[in-house]
């Protein structure tokens, strides 16, 4: 499997070799050392392969796939298979979700065989279709079963297994520290905590301080997630939680470069420095081209619209409307390129 090594027409960072070594050494997933402290979150319908490629080329330490439903993947569903793809991504990290240990273990084996270097278990998704099937965040209501599931996945593969969770099901059952201890006992190599309960979904503010109890409960690297919109948030998240790294989610929609930019700024102790407009334009157009090539013109353009709207957030409103309503891929590509013209984009995130 080939990996993107060249950034989008600019130097990824200005750290000296000592800073790079310090950053790399500060976070590892088992034997895999990461160059940076900031990761791209797994986001259903968002963190497709095109977005992950862009985030990694801009310097993200790690980029997780959209969650892959185990049962659906094993049935040969094409959408699930596309979500698990990782061509051009190093290290390739796939998140899987499910309830049955046997199906989760077999899915882990297959995605490892297809090139996954890290497998993440979803125990944090709050969506009703997931938790209603007693998967995702619902596993936090049955820690015995959660531990059995984690053990089954770890035992099935030779690559590192990680786990993403919430603080608990609700405010009355904050059990993330206990789940983290059980995950460590099962052989999981890193845990990520979205600092909300399942009952909160995405409402209110993430409680980064609450993640400190997880950090103190285990010897594993702990990543804190939730409401990271920029550099100052990342610094506050690390300070308040004591976590080893930060995960960025929705803030990267339309700005896959921001993950690497935050990581470099944390390492250098300096301000957030966006890449040039031309580099952002190239990444956005390449992302659109990947979607069109993978899904076809009609489905690819439909899937791309959330990304296109975000990439063009700072463009004039008429251009944005035309961009997200056109059915002509060539016209969409031209409009997307134009969306990065002008000084307005210099401040876009």
Burial (CB count <10 Å: 0-12, 13-18, 19+), residue 145 = middle
Is the pLDDT reported for residue 12 higher than 60?
no
Contact indicator for 136, 97 with CB cutoff of 8 Å: yes
> 215, 236, 268 — which closes off a domain?
268
Cβ atoms within 10 Å of 78's Cβ, excluding its own:
8
Is 238 contained in some domain? yes
Q: Are residues 196 and 326 in the same domain?
A: no
Contact indicator for 35, 63 with CB cutoff of 8 Å: no
Q: Are residues 187 and 154 in the same domain?
A: yes
Is 163 contained in some domain? yes
* Adjacent-strand bridge partners of 224: 193, 246
Is 3 contained in some domain? no
Q: How many domains does the chain have?
A: 2
Is the pLDDT reported for residue 267 higher than 60?
yes
Q: Which helix (H) or strand (E) holds 274?
A: none
Output the furthest CA–CA distance in the chain (Å, rounded). Answer: 56
The proportion of the chain whose per-residue pLDDT surpasses 70, expressed as a percent, equals 90
Which residue of the set 3, 24, 125, 228 is catalytic?
Answer: 125
Q: Are residues 215 and 140 in the same domain?
A: yes
Which carries the bigger pLDDT value, residue 195 or residue 11? Answer: 195
Is 9 contained in some domain? no
Q: What angle do CA 111, 116, 120 make, to 5 degrees?
A: 85
Q: What is the CATH number of the domain that holds 69?
A: 3.20.20.70
Is 162 contained in some domain? yes
> 249, 268, 287 — which closes off a domain?
268
Supply the range of the domain harboring residue 205. 17-268
Q: Are residues 74 and 208 in the same domain?
A: yes
What is the 8-class DSSP label of residue 42? Answer: P
**For position 132, what pLDDT does the model report?**
87
Q: Are residues 59 and 118 in the same domain?
A: yes
Q: Are residues 206 and 313 in the same domain?
A: no
Is 285 contained in some domain? yes
Is 6 contained in some domain? no
**For position 298, what pLDDT does the model report?**
94
The proportion of the chain whose per-residue pLDDT surpasses 90, expressed as a percent, equals 89
Is 299 contained in some domain? yes
> 228, 245, 268 — which closes off a domain?
268
Q: Are residues 112 and 235 in the same domain?
A: yes
Q: How far apart are CA 3 and CA 267, in angstroms?
A: 24
Q: Are residues 286 and 230 in the same domain?
A: no
Q: Are residues 259 and 294 in the same domain?
A: no
- Average pLDDT estimate for 130-146: 95
- Average pLDDT estimate for 78-100: 96
Q: Are residues 203 and 87 in the same domain?
A: yes
Q: Are residues 24 and 58 in the same domain?
A: yes
Spatial CB neighbours of 71, under 8 Å, sequence gap ≥ 6: 98, 100, 103
Tens digit of each residue's pLDDT (9 = 90 or more) over 170-204: 999 999 999 999 999 999 999 999 999 999 999 99
Tens digit of each residue's pLDDT (9 = 90 or more) over 285-313: 999 999 999 999 999 999 999 999 999 99
Q: Are residues 112 and 48 in the same domain?
A: yes
- Is residue 125 flagged as an active site residue? yes
Rounded to two decimals, the pTM is: 0.92
Contact indicator for 131, 198 with CB cutoff of 8 Å: yes
Q: How far apart are CA 286 and CA 36, in angstroms?
A: 24
Q: How far apart are CA 145 and CA 142, in angstroms?
A: 6
């Amino acid at each position: 499997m080939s990996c993107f090594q060249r950034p989008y027409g600019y130097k990824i960072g200005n750290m000296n070799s000592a800073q790079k070594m310090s950053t790399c050494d500060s976070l590892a997933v088992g034997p895999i050392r990461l160059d940076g402290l900031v990761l791209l979150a797994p986001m259903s319908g968002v963190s497709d392969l095109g977005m992950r490629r862009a985030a990694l080329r801009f310097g993200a330490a790690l980029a997780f796939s959209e969650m892959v439903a185990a049962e659906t993947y094993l049935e040969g569903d094409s959408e699930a298979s596309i979500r698990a793809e990782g061509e051009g991504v190093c290290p390739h990290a796939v998140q899987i979700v499910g309830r049955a240990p046997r199906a989760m273990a077999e899915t882990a084996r297959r995605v490892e065989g297809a090139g996954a270097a890290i497998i993440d278990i979803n125990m944090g998704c709050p969506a009703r279709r997931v938790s209603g099937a007693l998967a995702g965040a619902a596993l936090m209501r049955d820690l015995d079963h959660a531990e059995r599931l984690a053990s089954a996945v770890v035992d099935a593969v030779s690559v590192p297994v990680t786990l993403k969770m919430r603080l608990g099901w609700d405010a009355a059952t904050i059990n993330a520290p206990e789940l983290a201890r059980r995950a460590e006992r099962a052989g999981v190599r890193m845990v990520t905590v979205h600092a909300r309960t399942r009952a909160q979904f995405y409402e209110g503010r993430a409680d980064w301080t609450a993640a400190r109890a997880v950090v103190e409960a285990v010897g594993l690297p702990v990543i804190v997630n939730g409401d990271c919109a920029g550099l100052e948030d990342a610094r506050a998240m690390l300070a308040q939680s004591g976590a080893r790294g930060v995960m960025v989610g929705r803030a990267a929609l339309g700005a896959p470069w921001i993950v690497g930019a935050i990581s470099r700024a944390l390492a250098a102790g300096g301000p957030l420095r966006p890449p040039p407009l031309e580099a952002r334009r190239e990444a956005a157009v390449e992302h659109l081209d990947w979607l069109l090539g993978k899904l076809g013109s009609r489905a690819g353009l439909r899937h791309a619209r959330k990304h296109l709207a975000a990439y063009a957030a700072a463009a004039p409103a008429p251009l944005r409307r035309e961009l997200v309503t056109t059915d002509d891929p060539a016209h969409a590509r031209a409009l997307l390129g134009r969306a990065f013209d002008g000084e307005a984009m210099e401040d876009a995130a």
